[in-house]
Amino acid sequence: MLHMLCGKIASGKSTLAAELGGHPRTIVVSEDDWLARLYAGEISSVHDYVRYSARLRDAMTSHLVDILRAGTSIVLDFPANTLANRAWMRAVFEKADATHQLHYLDVSDEVCKARLRARNASGSHHFAASDAEFDLITRYFMAPRPDEGFEVIVHRS
């Protein structure tokens, strides 16, 4: 099973990923962890994030397929927030002939921003985003649509 996560910044994707990752034969693959380790100090803008996350997706695709084929479920803690990202994720589970669930965290901007500010203040996350960066990134957010054909599970706060 490939678990995918769709939700705005600070909507609770990583929290849900950790919960789902507690199931037997399931691993969490976190984009933030990988980016922080591979590109420490190199991501200082949304443009940098887009460039490095594309490299990471390209590098990880065949490995993710192999893990799924081996019978281990993956919680892919990468944002499934655009049609392009979801198309990549679809290619992963289809190549592996695996089942999938797309978890959509339907959380308001106000709640996300409050959580983001608290997270930034705590220093508990690899990356901090300002309200302006939240707004910029959220402009590209697209909730899953029925015509995409995913098995969607909606989580509301």
DSSP the chain: -EEEEE--TTSSHHHHHHHHTTSTTEEEEEHHHHHHHHSTTT--SHHHHHHHHHHHHHHHHHHHHHHHHTT-EEEEEEE--SHHHHHHHHHHHHHTT--EEEEEEE--HHHHHHHHHHHHHHT-SS----HHHHHHHHTT-----GGG---EEEEE-
Distance CA 20, CA 14 (A): 10
Among residues 131, 119, 33, 42, the alpha carbon closest in space to that of 76 is found at: 33
Q: Among 3.30.70.360, 3.40.640.10, 3.30.1050.10, 3.40.50.300, name the CATH number for the domain at 2-156.
A: 3.40.50.300
CB-CB contact of 56 with 31 (8 Å): yes
Annotated domain spans of the chain? 2-156
For residue 125, what pLDDT band results from cuts at 50, 70 and 90?
low
Global pTM value: 0.91
Q: How confident is the model at residue 146 (pLDDT cuts 50, 70, 90)?
A: very high
User: What does the pLDDT read at residue 120?
Assistant: 83
Predicted confidence (pLDDT) at residue 55 exceeds the cutoff of 80: yes
Predicted pLDDT at 44: 85
Give me Rg for the CA atoms of the chain.
Answer: 15
